[in-house]
A and B are shown apart, each in its own frame.
Chain A
Amino acid sequence: DARVTQTPRHKVTEMGQEVTMRCQPILGHNTVFWYRQTMMQGLELLAYFRNRAPLDDSGMPKDRFSAEMPDATLATLKIQPSEPRDSAVYFCASGSGTSYLNEQFFGPGTRLTVL
């Protein structure tokens, strides 16, 4: 049963600490998305990659957030330094092909709490 995996599932940290979230896309998928979900803002696209190349990260605060794909099986989202307003659920999704019309498969999310 192919699925997107995310680690950790929960993270509690203190303001100023570095946070790294990891995502393993479905094998064979070439597109990876990072979303953030909060009560106030809903679901926001932070960044996405195709064939490991970043295509758009305009939704991401550049000064503290960074997203990378070291290889085809791993995507990372880092926050440094973290702030309380970063508390949210962060979702990774993967898809295949080159069209947004193709289904995105979501992981279970990382629930981040920054104290």
Chain B
Amino acid sequence: AQSVTQLGSHVSVSEGALVLLRCNYSSSVPPYLFWYVQYPNQGLQLLLKYTTGATLVKGINGFEAEFKKSETSFHLTKPSAHMSDAAEYFCAVINTDKLIFGTGTRLQVFP
């Protein structure tokens, strides 16, 4: 069965610094991978998704993720953090027609 593991439940960065949120997947078939963001007291919002094709996927708010089959990874990055990026981020994979979410990474951004 497909699953994802998010490394690091909390990540703290300074404003303007690189954001790197890690996600590794386990899948016996080519995976479909997603990143969602959850702002405080809100539902989840899709940041980006990888299905097929280009392995570098660009999403909203300046985020991007790269699918690396050799490393079974789908890490989320943003070159320069903004205060408004503070939120919880979830990696997810499709498993037999269902979205399976990771445990989430809370991103803190310090001025």
A interface list, Cβ under 8 A from B: 4, 42-43, 45, 48, 56, 91, 93, 100-101, 103-109
Interface residues of B (CB under 8 A from A): 32, 41-46, 49, 51, 90, 94, 97-104
CB of A42 within 8 A of CB of B43, answer no
A100 touches B99 (CB 8 A): yes
Q: Which among B32, B90, B94, B99 has the highest number of chain A CB atoms within 10 Å?
A: B99
6 chain-A/chain-B pairs, Cβ below 8 angstroms: A42-B103, A43-B101, A91-B44, A100-B94, A100-B99, A106-B42
Which residue of chain A lies nearest to B94 when distances are taken between CB atoms in the complex?
A100
Given known contacts A43-B90, A101-B32, A108 and B41 CB-to-CB distance under 8 angstroms: yes
- Kindly list chain B residues whose C-beta atoms are within 8 Å of the C-beta of A93: 43-44
**A42 contacts B104, C-beta separation under 8 Å:** yes
Task: Verify A91–B43 contact, CB threshold 8 A.
Answer: yes
B57 to chain A, nearest CB (A): 13
